[in-house]
């Protein structure tokens, strides 16, 4: 029972941290993650809100995952949908607007760390993954790639499609594209040793 509570707590902490990381990346104003660029572009191209865009795209990820490898979907998939917006809202309340140019660039490293730790926490909890990570894991297993390799590939596709649809990106987007998958793997290795 205690182990199950720890798993749920780890997952919820991961989702809330990811929401705060998303909020911080938006407040820094140097671009969000590649999936966020896809949400942004999709919402602009189809004239829907970003939240509707996120629901549609997440639904596609879950459906594809369900038909290819439904074991990647679990209660965590639902929890991530419910608590991610809470984390973003919490971040919007506690994080001030960041105007100083130099500080903004240093915060990119913090954003990368928040993303890497939060995704690793959700994966480590092993109660299902977010819609996006379940999609990544499905194709990771299918093509026998590491998490970092598959995340990079799928992030790159999301970024490309997001730009085609009119989404905006910046330096933080590229840092997350290149380093987030490997950062998540390193945190997972650490968590698995301890």
Report field, pTM of the whole predicted structure over 0.75: yes
C-alpha–C-alpha distance, residues 168 and 106, integer Å: 21
Per-residue model confidence (pLDDT) at position 124: 95
Report the pLDDT value the prediction gives residue 38, as an integer from 0 to 100.
94
Task: Give ∠ CA 32-21-56 in degrees, rounded to 5.
Answer: 60
pLDDT given for residue 41 in this prediction:
92
Q: Which long-range CB contacts under 8 A does 50-55 form with residues at least 24 apart?
A: 51/85
* pLDDT in single tens digits along all 194 residues of the chain: 669 999 999 999 999 999 999 889 888 889 999 999 999 999 999 999 877 888 899 899 999 999 999 999 999 998 888 888 888 889 889 998 887 788 989 999 999 999 999 999 999 999 999 999 999 999 999 999 999 999 999 999 999 999 999 999 999 999 999 999 999 999 999 999 97
């Amino acid at each position: 029972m205690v182990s199950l509570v720890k798993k749920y707590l780890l997952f919820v902490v991961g989702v809330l941290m990811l929401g705060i990381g998303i909020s911080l990346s938006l407040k820094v104003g140097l671009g969000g993650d590649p999936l966020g660029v896809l949400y942004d572009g999709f919402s602009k191209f189809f004239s829907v809100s970003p939240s509707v865009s996120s629901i549609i795209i997440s639904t596609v990820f879950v459906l594809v995952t369900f038909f290819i490898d439904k074991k990647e979907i679990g209660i965590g998939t639902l929890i991530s949908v419910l608590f991610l917006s809470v984390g973003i809202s919490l971040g919007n309340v506690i994080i001030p607007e960041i105007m100083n140019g130099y500080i903004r660039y240093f915060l990119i490293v913090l954003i990368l760390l928040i993303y890497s730790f939060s995704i690793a926490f959700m994966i480590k909890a092993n109660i299902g993954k977010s819609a996006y990570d379940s999609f990544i894991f499905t194709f990771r297993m299918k093509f026998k790639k590491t998490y970092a390799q598959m995340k990079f590939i799928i992030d790159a596709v999301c970024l490309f499609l997001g730009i085609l649809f009119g989404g905006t990106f910046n330096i933080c987007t590229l840092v997350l594209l290149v380093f987030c998958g490997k950062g998540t793997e390193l945190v997972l290795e650490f968590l698995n040793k301890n």
